[in-house]
Amino acid sequence: MNFRAPRGTHDILPKESGQWQFVEQKFSELCRRFSYQEIRTPVFEQTELFARGVGDGTDIVQKEMYNFEDKAGRAMTLRPEGTAGVVRSYIEHGLASEPSPIKLFYNITAFRYEKMQKGRYREFRQLGCECFGSKSASADAELITLLWLFFSELRMKDIHLEVNSIGCPLCRPAYKEALTEYLRPHLSKLCEDCRRRFATNPLRVLDCKEESCRKIAQDAPKSLEHLCPECLAHWEGLLSLLDTFAIPYNINPKIVRGLDYYSKTVFEFISENVGTQGTICGGGRYDGLVEELGGPATPGVGFALGVERLLLELEAQGFSFPEPVDPTIFIASFPEQRLLANQLAFSLRKEGLHAEVDICERSFKAQMKHANRIKAKYLLVLGDEEAKQMCGRIKRMADGAEKELSFSELASFLVNFEE
């Protein structure tokens, strides 16, 4: 039997993993500049957590979740997104009693059984942030500036921010009613998904990608025209902050996001280079989610960023990732000195050096070829005389220059070279 990775999953091979590490480390470092601390949550949770948190009427809950029963008959789900699990952890561990704001970031694998598209997988990786305890537009703006800096420091071009406000539980019902009345005469012309959404979450019709639905949504009522005074003040405060930070944005009334927990601010960073939708990341405010999941009333705001789509975008823009670090030294040996070669390599590794030694019992000639193949910067050959004197000639591979060194001097010499 020939085994293959399951449909919708993919292997990240060594030649690619350095790119992933680079992006993840850049994101982690930037989060800490903003005082966000990492949180790690389980890869599966109770199904009810996502049904209540993400929303029964969403495509994720209705069609895309990987559900299973554990051995005790409990309904469990592989997480389809990161926010619900972070909120559950926030409540369970009493983080609400700590000084606000609580600022968390994560790097997770998530799972959705959805249509395969460029940059979209059924097992995928997300980077994200969640901020609890601030109802101020400053929290929204801070997360947007974090993302803006992230993309800027990756030297990404043609990435634009789109923002909207979908109101709160006080003003959204009136908007939903106006939207429903507008859509009702067009119901037969909507796609199958949007006809279903019409009854559960008509706002989702606005961001449908089907051309027929896009045409109908073009003249639909706008949520910004139905904001209550509090939501309007929050919205104007956010735009003022973005103007202050000189972060350009487009107001897009069709951005509503696909999850039920959003309120007030919703935003996306868009590029035309990836997939069919061009959305690299999205987020927004969810002031009622903590309370909905059994915690105290707590404002929150966050975002999630798809790593696969980000890497596609970087590739499309010709981004040059740092090259893998080549070994500092390769220690070649004849069979009688193989043990000494391994001991010397281990001693150099303990000093923090990138040392390589043959572990395949190659011939001496094959070891020389291997040293060139892996682009070792220096070469040390161990023969009988070197073993007896505990010293040898180290050769710089770039130009063939050689230097006599005792083995006790080797680490110091290479450390200085590395610096």
| Radius of gyration of the chain measured on its C-alpha atoms | 28
- In CATH, the architecture of 14-171+227-316 is 2-Layer Sandwich (3.30)
- In CATH, the architecture of 329-418 is 3-Layer(aba) Sandwich (3.40)
The length of the chain is 419
Whether residue 376 contacts residue 397, with contact meaning beta carbons closer than 8 Å, is answered with yes
Q: pLDDT by residue for the chain (419 residues), tens digit each? A: 889 999 999 999 999 999 999 999 999 999 999 999 999 999 999 999 998 878 766 767 777 899 999 999 999 999 999 999 999 999 999 999 999 999 999 999 999 998 777 778 999 999 999 999 999 999 999 999 999 999 999 999 889 999 999 999 999 889 889 988 988 888 888 888 888 877 778 888 887 878 888 888 888 899 999 999 999 999 999 999 999 999 999 999 988 876 677 899 999 999 877 544 588 999 999 999 999 999 999 999 999 999 999 999 999 889 999 988 899 999 999 999 999 999 999 999 999 999 999 999 999 999 999 999 999 999 999 999 999 999 999 999 999 999 999 999 999 999 887 54
Question: How far is residue 118's CA from residue 173's CA, in Å, rounded to a whole number?
Answer: 36
Whether residue 203 contacts residue 269, with contact meaning beta carbons closer than 8 Å, is answered with no
SS3 405: strand
Listed in order, the ranges of the chain carrying CATH 3.30.930.10 are 14-171+227-316
Q: Count the neighbouring beta carbons within 10 Å of the beta carbon of residue 299.
A: 22
pLDDT at residue 396 in the model: 94
Question: How far is residue 274's CA from residue 344's CA, in Å, rounded to a whole number?
Answer: 48
pLDDT at residue 339 in the model: 94
DSSP-derived secondary structure for 310-379: HHHHHHHTT--PPPPPPPSEEEEE-GGGHHHHHHHHHHHHHTT--EEE--S---HHHHHHHHHHTT-SEE
CA dihedral 188, 191, 197, 199 (to 10 degrees): 10
Which residues, at least 6 apart from 417, have a Cβ–Cβ distance to it below 8 Å? 328, 377, 378
Closest CA relative to residue 31, chosen from 146, 127, 108, 140: 146
SS (H, E, C) 45-113: EEHHHHHHHCCCCCHHHHHHCEEEECCCCCEEEECCCCHHHHHHHHHHCCHHHCCCCEEEEEEEEEECC
**Distance of CA 96 to CAs 88, 133, 141, 289, 296, Å?**
12, 8, 22, 13, 8
pLDDT at residue 404 in the model: 92
Listed in order, the ranges of the chain carrying CATH 3.40.50.800 are 329-418
In the block, which residue shows the tokens 């009854």?
199
- Show the tokens assigned to 291: 């309370």
Strand partners, 285: 263, 301
